[in-house]
Structure 1
Amino acid sequence: MGVKGKAAAAILILLLFLGSLWLQGGLDYHWDSCIKAYNQVNQLHQLSNSSGGDGAESQLQMCPGQAFQVSLLLSHLLAAPTSKSDVLLQPYLSSWDELMKFMDSLGPMVGLISKEIETKTSIIRQLTKLTEGNPEAELGPDQHSINSVQTQGGTKNKASLDTGPYRSVRSMILMELDQGLVSFHHLTDSGCRTLLRLHRALLWLKLFLEKLAETPAEGRLRSPSDLCREAYKSTLAHHHTWYVRKAAELAFIALPERSFFFRLVCVQNQEELSKLLSRVVQAIEEVYDRTQKALEENGMLDLP
């Protein structure tokens, strides 16, 4: 094998290692679809009203041939905020289910990151199952055991997220603090620590989509690769080592061109993409801000 071949192989191994460790133990310092059917009519009506009647609601239809559906993502995001500045965990996790499909569509390297995020969402779902009186359950990323729990009354699919301590962000925080499940000094698999890692990743995706929605005054559109790398430097890079940062930037080089994103959400041009993504960003921001406030009030923004 020549020098170039060896270099390419080394880069591939490095990227694969990055994907496997991206979220292993958290998005702080390590290398680090089951969608609930909400009332689509009501959610799309809300989005139509927020669009100012500019006709953008036509973009909220299901996009044929795509695993990722922006209409479902918006629906889940809008269902998450609840009273008292809280966030419901079931639609929050369902939003991540859709965001993982979004990341999977961007290529194998970003798709590896989504697998680690899936592990994090699975931990919260598993913790929910444990609080429902199933002492034999063990923490782990087994999505099937998490999403489908056999009971005497039949199969319970995520039903426990509708009630109980893991109903919302704030109810989870209060319960885990009361039960001493959160450590401010050691690594744990608590729901709060896991949520913090998802929370940091959500900021990265929000900023990337926000940049992708921008239409510069001079008309020059930057590549999604540059935008994603810039969003990363402003967010997750602060929690990663130098080696992780360099490997991540290398991984983002393989992101598809802008025209791919037009097809992904079934729009024709940058103007339509900007309108749609701006609404997605607004919905993400509401969920993010509420989660940020809850974590900050309880001193959980720097959990190990």
Structure 2
Amino acid sequence: MQDFQLEKVNDYLLACHSRDEKLCLRFYISAYEELNKLFGLLGSLFGFISSDVQSKLEILSTYLADSENATAFSTVSGMLRCEKESGKLVDSKYISGSRTLLRLHRALGFLVDFLERISTLSLSDSLSKVCYLSYRSTLGNYHPQLIRLMVKGAVYTLSSKKDLLDKINKDNKEEEYYNKLLVEVVKNGRKVYQLTDALYTFHNLHDLP
């Protein structure tokens, strides 16, 4: 696995929403591919999350690579509209991009909240408590009790903010550099999250099974 680069996450998130509010799907996927590396840094117990995210990214990437879908699926807005108007969302055999993205969207809410909390920690602080607080207030709302208990146990294996920064800081940058970068990532991540949420609301697709 290549090194996780927070700078790339920020660049991709910014590119995703900077052109218009339709949201570029390719940059959304690119941002998530980079964010998914973060789960690998958090420990083996987060491997099941990483695998699930990767499988969903592959579904979306397949649609983008298909010339029949490439234009409609170039933006999040276009994909939701195309699948809804074509009636594909009621086809149980159809692997829906909208349904797939909805799961990633919910997880993005967790990641943005978690990164924001990390930015406020001192170097010696553990990531465990803030990770669980972020999970409980976001993604945990969509999981059954068994999954919530598994996550609660998994987060207590997390180390400190310093240990995480040591893993991603290959250029010996100061902590302040990453705190400022985290603020930018959170700002752009929240923008993408809010715009995506608004699109699902507009198309009435928040409750896709």
Q: 1:178 aligns with which of 85, 97, 103?
A: 85
Which residue matches 2:96?
190
Which residue matches 1:211?
117
CA distance in 2, matches of 1:288, 1:104: 22
Q: 1:242 aligns with which of 145, 151, 154?
A: 145
- Aligned AA for 1:72? K
What runs of 5+ residues in structure 1 fail to find an aligned partner?
1-32, 34-65, 134-159
Deviates more, 1:77-86 or 1:117-126: 77-86
What runs of 5+ residues in structure 2 fail to find an aligned partner?
none
Moved over 6 A (4+): none
Which residue matches 1:268?
174
- Aligned AA for 1:87? L
Which residue matches 1:77?
13
CA distance in 2, matches of 1:268, 1:167: 38
Give per-residue Cα distances to partners, 1:251-270, cap 9 Å, x unaligned. 1111222111222342433x
CA distance in 1, matches of 2:29, 2:92: 25
CA distance in 2, matches of 1:99, 1:238: 21
- The 5 A counterparts of 1:20-99 are 67-99=3-35
Higher Rg: 1
CA distance in 1, matches of 2:57, 2:100: 8
Query: Is the 1:176–1:182 Cα contact (8 Å) retained in structure 2?
Result: yes
CA distance in 2, matches of 1:107, 1:176: 36
The 1:167–1:220 alpha-carbon spacing in structure 2 relative to 1, beyond 3 Å, is: closer
CA distance in 2, matches of 1:73, 1:220: 22
CA distance in 2, matches of 1:220, 1:103: 19
Q: Scaled by the length of structure 2, what TM-score is found?
A: 0.89
Q: Scaled by the length of structure 1, what TM-score is found?
A: 0.63
- Larger RCO of the pair (alpha carbons < 8 Å, separation 6+): 2
Query: Is the 1:262–1:268 Cα contact (8 Å) retained in structure 2?
Result: no
Which residue matches 1:290?
195
CA distance in 1, matches of 2:163, 2:107: 22
The 1:176–1:82 alpha-carbon spacing in structure 2 relative to 1, beyond 3 Å, is: farther
- Aligned AA for 2:135? Y
Which residue matches 2:127?
224
> Identity across aligned pairs (percent)?
30
CA distance in 2, matches of 1:244, 1:263: 29
Q: Alpha-carbon deviation of 1:188?
A: 5.3
CA distance in 2, matches of 1:164, 1:174: 12
Which residue matches 1:119?
55
Give per-residue Cα distances to partners, 1:134-193, cap 9 Å, x unaligned. xxxxxxxxxxxxxxxxxxxxxxxxxx8xx511100011111111211113x968521111
- Aligned AA for 1:209? L
- Aligned AA for 1:200? R
Q: Alpha-carbon deviation of 1:300?
A: 1.0
The 1:195–1:252 alpha-carbon spacing in structure 2 relative to 1, beyond 3 Å, is: same
- Aligned AA for 1:258? K
Residue 164 in 1 paired to residue 100 in 2? no
- Aligned AA for 1:175? C
Residue 102 in 1 paired to residue 102 in 2? no
Residue 256 in 1 paired to residue 159 in 2? yes
CA distance in 2, matches of 1:262, 1:82: 28
Query: Is the 2:41–2:164 Cα contact (8 Å) retained in structure 1?
Result: no
Query: Is the 1:207–1:231 Cα contact (8 Å) retained in structure 2?
Result: yes
Query: Is the 1:82–1:88 Cα contact (8 Å) retained in structure 2?
Result: no
- Aligned AA for 2:78? S
